[in-house]
Structure 1
Amino acid sequence: MSGLAIMMMVLFMVVIWGGFIASALHLRANPDDTSGALGVADHARDEHLAAQELH
């Protein structure tokens, strides 16, 4: 492998793993339960949705 190929490989590994780590940290700080349009709405809570299930 040439030096340029190794440099490109390292660069893209940093970009890919950096994006993965950044997204994991963002998800940890902003859980799915409280983000989005319905995240904090009363009708989007587990208890309310479970009560609407058909048995």
Structure 2
Amino acid sequence: MGADARSCTVYTTLHPCNECSNLMIQSEISKIVYLEDKESKRAAYAASKLLLKEVK
């Protein structure tokens, strides 16, 4: 078991990929802050956008 990440904020340079988004949702991260969204049009990021939108 890892550290409790509920109610934490993640700061990252790019929009999180699908796998990272899943992990953050499962960890109950409360907020994700990213600097750029330039990779999100790639297929590897498509589900991520939908997942994070649903969780809001």
Normalised TM-score (structure 1): 0.21
Structure that is richer in strand per residue: 2
Q: Which has the higher contact order (CA 8 A, sep 6+)?
A: 2
Structure that is richer in helix per residue: 1
Structure number with greater Rg is: 1
